[in-house]
Structure 1
Amino acid sequence: MTTRIAAAAAFALGLTFAAGTAGAFELEGAGLTVGVTPTVSSDYLFRGVSQTRNRPAVQGTIDIQHTTGLYVGAFASNVAFLGTNARQEIDALAGWRTTFAGVSLDVGGIAYTYPGYEHGLGAYDLQYFELAAKASYEIPNLPVPVKVLGAFNWSPNYQLESGDGFYVEGGVEIGLPYDLTLGSRAGYQWIQNNARWGSPDFANWNVTLSYKFSDFVLTAGYYDTNLNKRECFGGQKICDARAMVFLSRTF
């Protein structure tokens, strides 16, 4: 399946279903596992910053993985950036997943695109590419499941043509009784050309609680950054602390 077809399928699924955790099915004889993750949420935050100007988002993800660990995928969402005509984001993903000494590893790349977006004379491009590495490890012999996570992303020319961009993130997930999961993440974004990007380097963090019932998962969370209004992309309110809700359906 080509990236273009995968992205279109993800977007269509995002418009059709309300979900956030996908089931997966196998294509017999091909060695492929296909996962689909449609999502609805009260906002679309990327590293703590709203991509929809504090409005709801409808999203979809498709993930196709071979038994070798190689995978391709796509993500789609509505977006709304002040002063642009960008209305949708479609990302293409590819990489390799494996497990070594109990550590789950994922290395690959992500291309962030905004179909239909037109940047006028003197404007900078929204589209960019990142190399990404993620790792997770479930700590053994604890009374409850505890997983620690880490991630590192690097772009040679970050969004708005702002030069090198580096992002690091760490987190934890704790399995609780009654099908509850408590999670937390903290990350930091460095940008080479802050004036062009629109904010200083910044930190973000969140705490979430998820509840699985029947075929659904309901997640509520608190999200924040260390950017004040003056520092936030020309005085916007897209970096403020906020509560968010996600509704998920597994199928």
Structure 2
Amino acid sequence: MNLKHALATTLLLAPAAHADDVTAGPHAFNANIGVVSQYVFRGLAQTNENPALQGGFDYAHGGGFYAGTWLSNVSWVADVFPDASASLEADIYAGFRKTFEPAGITGDIGYLRYQYPGSFPVLPLGSVEPHSDEAYASLGWKWLALKYSHSLGDLFGVEDSAGSGYVDLTVTVPLPASLSLVLHAGQQYYAGASAAARLAGTDNDALFGYEDYRATLNYAFAEGWTASATYTTTNAKDAGYLVGGNNLGDDQVVLALLKTL
């Protein structure tokens, strides 16, 4: 919202562990570019079911440090915020990753900034500008990865939501013929109570909290090319996610083509 971020999901759907596809070495640099039939992040439509062009650049040090940036066009900001001019998501991230042997457990901690360049002349009741900051930590072992992301300030435009959290459980199953199956379950919790939530007699989580599920089939071919197909679903509530008559968390199918350089 980040490849966004790893070839474990391939779809460029959202921040998992960053820079996982960077070649090992003292100093390694990597770029990626991809096109998706639509951009979906944590189960929520980001481009109103329209295509997105996405790409990023990563640096990794052999000692475990990594950093990078990732870009995508978006439409949800202008759809939600009246007269907003933001049509780009620009992420920056940095972290440290280490594998503990002989157990083969990989730990990862880092920081991620979601930036939406543009102007926001009108902010609806209970809203703030959507730029967001998260700290994250993850553990991975063989096919399993568990990650927690914690918002350091208001999250994705929801007022009084600092301290919100997202839990991400991902299982990656290698298959024959360069195929892999990725299964994901996530839960987004929203802290606090915005003015809009208080007016409705509730809190942010009752309006904006949800669970999301995703299944992705990846096919790696040629050198650095990956194609994928994904199905996503959520239980996001209309009260929090109905935009232009459509729930951003409705079931979606996403096709993607990615090239790692």
Q: State TM-score, norm by structure 1.
A: 0.80
Q: Partner residue of 2:156?
A: 159
Structure 1: runs of 5 or more not aligned: 1-9, 11-18, 139-146
User: Equivalent pairs: percent with the same residue?
Assistant: 29
1:120 positional shift: 3.2
Does the aligned pair in 1 maintain the 2:123–2:129 contact within 8 Å? no
3-state secondary structure, aligned to 1:159: coil
1:237 positional shift: 3.0
Q: Partner residue of 1:225?
A: 234
Does the aligned pair in 1 maintain the 2:22–2:59 contact within 8 Å? no
Which letter does structure 2 place at the counterpart of 1:128? Answer: S
58, 77, 80: which one pairs with 2:75? Answer: 80
3-state secondary structure, aligned to 1:168: strand
Cα distance 1:117–1:136, how it changes in 2: closer, same or farther (>3 A)? farther
Q: Partner residue of 1:14?
A: none
1:200 positional shift: 2.9
Which letter does structure 2 place at the counterpart of 1:206? Answer: R
1:131 positional shift: 0.3
Q: Partner residue of 2:251?
A: 241
Cα distance 1:178–1:155, how it changes in 2: closer, same or farther (>3 A)? same
Q: Partner residue of 1:108?
A: 110
Deviations 1:95-119 (A, max 9, x none): 1111113111210100111112334
Deviating above 4 A after TM superposition, structure 1's stretches of 4 or more consecutive aligned residues are: 19-27, 194-198
Cα distance 1:121–1:229, how it changes in 2: closer, same or farther (>3 A)? closer
Greater Cα offset, 233-242 or 167-176: 233-242
194, 205, 210: which one pairs with 2:218? Answer: 210
Cα distance 1:151–1:52, how it changes in 2: closer, same or farther (>3 A)? same
Q: State TM-score, norm by structure 2.
A: 0.77
Q: Partner residue of 2:32?
A: 37
Which letter does structure 1 place at the counterpart of 2:146? Answer: G
Which letter does structure 2 place at the counterpart of 1:48? Answer: G
Distance in 2 between residues matched to 1:127 and 1:221, nearest whole Å: 27
User: In the alignment, does 2:97 pair up with 1:89?
Assistant: no
1:136 positional shift: 1.4
Aligned CA-pair RMSD: 2.6
- 1:126-205 matches, cutoff 5 A: 126-138=130-142, 147-157=143-153, 158-160=155-157, 161-163=159-161, 164-192=163-191, 193=193, 195=196, 199-205=207-213
Which letter does structure 1 place at the counterpart of 2:139? Answer: A
Distance in 2 between residues matched to 1:22 and 1:76, nearest whole Å: 17
Deviations 1:12-64 (A, max 9, x none): xxxxxxx969975688xxx3111212111011111100111221111112110
Q: Which one has the bigger strand percentage?
A: 1
Cα distance 1:74–1:119, how it changes in 2: closer, same or farther (>3 A)? farther
1:165 positional shift: 1.1
Q: Partner residue of 1:15?
A: none
Does the aligned pair in 1 maintain the 2:208–2:237 contact within 8 Å? no
3-state secondary structure, aligned to 1:240: coil
Does the aligned pair in 1 maintain the 2:30–2:260 contact within 8 Å? no
Greater Cα offset, 195-204 or 215-224: 195-204
Greater Cα offset, 73-82 or 157-166: 157-166
1:175 positional shift: 0.6
Distance in 1 between residues matched to 2:21 and 2:113, nearest whole Å: 24
Distance in 2 between residues matched to 1:23 and 1:167, nearest whole Å: 23
Distance in 1 between residues matched to 2:66 and 2:20, nearest whole Å: 16
Which letter does structure 2 place at the counterpart of 1:155? Answer: S
